[in-house]
Amino acid sequence: MSKPASGRIFDLGILRRIVSYVGPYKTRFAITGLLVIALALLAPIRPWLIQQAIDKDLPAGDLNGLLNMFLLVIATLVIEAIFQFYQTYYANWVAQSVTLDLRSKLFTHVLKFKLKYFDRTPVGSFVTRLISDIDGIAEVFSNGLLTIIGDLLKLVFVIILMLVINWKMTLIVLLPIPILLIATKIFQVAIRKAFTQVRNQVSKMNNFVQEHVTGMSIVQIFNREKREKEKFEGINKEHMQANINSIWAFSIFFPVVELLSAASVALLLWWGIGDVVNEKVTLGIILQFILYIFMLYRPIRQLADRFNVLQMGIVNAERVFKVFDTEERIVDDGPLDGIKFKGDIEFKNVWFAYNDEDWVLKDLSFEVKTGQTLAFVGATGAGKSSVINLLSRFYEFQKGEILVDGISLREIQVDCIRENIAVVLQDVFLFSDSIKNNITLNDSSISDEKLIAASKAVGAHPFISKLPGEYDFDVKERGGMLSVGQRQLLAFIRAYVYNPSILVLDEATSSVDTESEELIQHAIQKLTEGRTSIIIAHRLSTIQKADKIIVLDKGMVVEQGSHQELIEQEGHYRKLFELQFQD
């Protein structure tokens, strides 16, 4: 696991981890590196050619020599342009390839997380990690690491050449460099802090916008537009201030670089003109040194930008790798896979808590046989939905044992469990896609004939046939184009076409009107035929035919039996029944 980069200029451990993703593209990455070295070597040649023309060909009046030097300068520029093109292209190609791999790997990694992770992680934060932060990592390859190496090599080659030509004049020219290095160090620290603030504020803004767009109906129902606008303006101002802090650092650093660059030129002229008069140095060398000064300061100024890119890439990578290093997966080391459940389910002394020992289920035991229907009733928070979360292994229980067909649930691979269990939730989630794709979830093995047959069996075919495009009708985000009842029916079809061994219905009729409830009751009857079913319901009318009804209270079984048996007991269930049917 990588160490946090916080408090460092950059973290070499994280940098090595970023570079490790280049593996599949090492050939193009190596070519890019060679082009960077070639460009660094070519850069000092042009000032030398100009010096030769001024000091040799011009005094001698050698027009052919001047023309040849001019052509050599042009040829050097053309070669540099070609090398620069391929270096930029390959660097960005590698960057985008690494981005593709990172996004795919991160998304695949998160798909296996427990639901508990998503309970406590804002959607906007994860979107920022998957999109913006990984884009920032791509910048490390396209405009960061190799470019920094190229700039450093250029600096080294230029300084060595200047020392060879005239070491005294070189030392005079380099006098402002220590001040520049100190300024650059201060700038790097300041800009890292500013950029970290920017990324935090971007994540905060993403979270706010995502939540409030999703919950816009609540904002408007309770007339909270003005208050939420004020909150957004506060977050927006914080985002602006974070960006201004980074701009402030740039606005100080760049003038300092220009000032020190001018100081080097001034020192060169002050020292060099005397040598020119005394014929110790030629005018061409003075001009060559001026060009080299610009070559020195421009990369140093750009180095600050490159280091910022590198630093931000490391900040982004630190966030992304934190998600990679998060171990929130269900332990999936069961030896059994590819089995078809019969449908026997048994909970034996199961204890479960979402947090520490705040128990939601306490010593829960029950059994349901193949083909039977088991119903759970109880007040909100009694633990009903937790039962199905454990059965599908969305969460892990702490104590006890859950058996399916006499086999411990933890002995069966998670994919196999979920292939055998279909869950229809109260809050049906539909993707912004066609009805067909929302039912089949893009499973090509489900034919159109099977899809239509399932829709007819559930009773949803008539309303789908009336929609524009029928099964190709786009339901839009979260199924917003459909009613609650229609969305619920699609969820039943989705469960039906997958032909599960065990069916779970979680409050499947609690939010629908009477007409839709009749259709859904028909769908429930069709779905539960011949398979083990677990029904969680507030409406007791939906479970009167269940083989067994369990009444939960504060995570414990307080009553169980058939509808008639529970009515005769005159306990919790009868009170609930009389409250619903007292009219």
| CATH number, residue 149 | 1.20.1560.10
- Is residue 264 within 8 A of residue 173, CB to CB? The reply is yes
Residues 110 and 243 both lie in one domain:
yes
**pLDDT reported for residue 509:** 59
Domain count, the chain: 2
- Residue 3 has a pLDDT of 41
**Is-contact 79 2, C-beta < 8 A?**
no
Name the band, by pLDDT with cuts 50, 70 and 90, for residue 200.
Answer: confident
Indicate if the alpha-carbon torsion angle 94, 100, 103, 109 is positive or negative: negative
Report the DSSP pairing between strands 407-408 and 399-404: antiparallel
pLDDT in tens, 84-126: 899 888 888 888 888 888 888 888 887 777 776 776 666 667 7
pLDDT higher than 70, residue 460: yes
Taking residues 34-55, report their average pLDDT. Answer: 84
Is 49 domain-assigned?
yes
Domain of residue 355, residue span: 345-581
CATH number where 557 lies: 3.40.50.300
What pTM did the predictor assign? 0.66
| pLDDT for the residue 508 | 60
- 511 pLDDT above the threshold of 80: no
Contact 80, 111 (CB under 8 A): no
Query: Does a structural domain hold residue 47?
Result: yes
Average pLDDT over residues 173-178: 84
pLDDT tens-digit profile of 293-351? 888 877 777 776 777 777 777 878 888 888 887 777 777 777 888 788 888 888 888 88
Per-residue model confidence as pLDDT tens digits over 219-249: 776 677 788 788 888 888 888 888 887 777 7
Q: Is residue 8 part of a domain?
A: no
Please give the mean pLDDT across all residues of the chain. 79
- pLDDT score at 575: 80
DSSP 469: T
**Distance of alpha carbon 363 from alpha carbon 384, whole angstroms:** 14
Domain contains 336: no
Q: Residue 2: is its pLDDT beyond 50?
A: no
pLDDT > 90: percent of the chain:
1
- The alpha carbon dihedral of 194, 195, 198, 203 has a sign of negative
For residue 335, being part of any structural domain is answered with: no
Q: What is the pLDDT of residue 217?
A: 67
Q: Is residue 333 part of a domain?
A: no
Helix (H) or strand (E) holding 401: strand 399-404
Confidence check: pLDDT of 389 > 60:
yes
Measured in Å, how far apart are the chain's first and last C-alpha atoms? 63
Same domain, 292 and 416: no
Higher-pLDDT residue of 534 and 540 is 534
pLDDT at 394: 83
> What band does 82 get if pLDDT is binned at 50, 70 and 90?
very high
User: Domain check: are 537 and 435 in the same one?
Assistant: yes
Q: How far apart are CA 48 and CA 51, in angstroms?
A: 5
> Nearest 10 degrees: CA dihedral of 451, 457, 460, 463?
90
Residue 183: CB partners within 8 Å, gap ≥ 6?
A: 253, 256, 257, 260
For 405-449, what is each residue's pLDDT tens digit? 888 888 888 888 888 888 887 777 778 888 888 888 877 788 888
Residue 130 confidence class, pLDDT cut points 50, 70, 90: confident
CA dihedral 454, 459, 464, 470 (to 10 degrees): 30
Q: Are residues 193 and 309 in the same domain?
A: yes
Q: What are phi and psi of 336, to 5 degrees?
A: -95, 135
Residue 5 binned pLDDT confidence (cut-offs 50, 70, 90): very low
More reliable by pLDDT, 280 or 152: 152
Residue 340 lies in a domain: no
Answer whether residue 481 is part of any domain: yes
Instruction: Give me 575's structure tokens.
Output: 């009170």
| Same domain for 113 and 70 | yes
The verdict on 445 and 567 lying in the same domain is yes
**Whether the predicted pLDDT of 352 surpasses 80:** yes
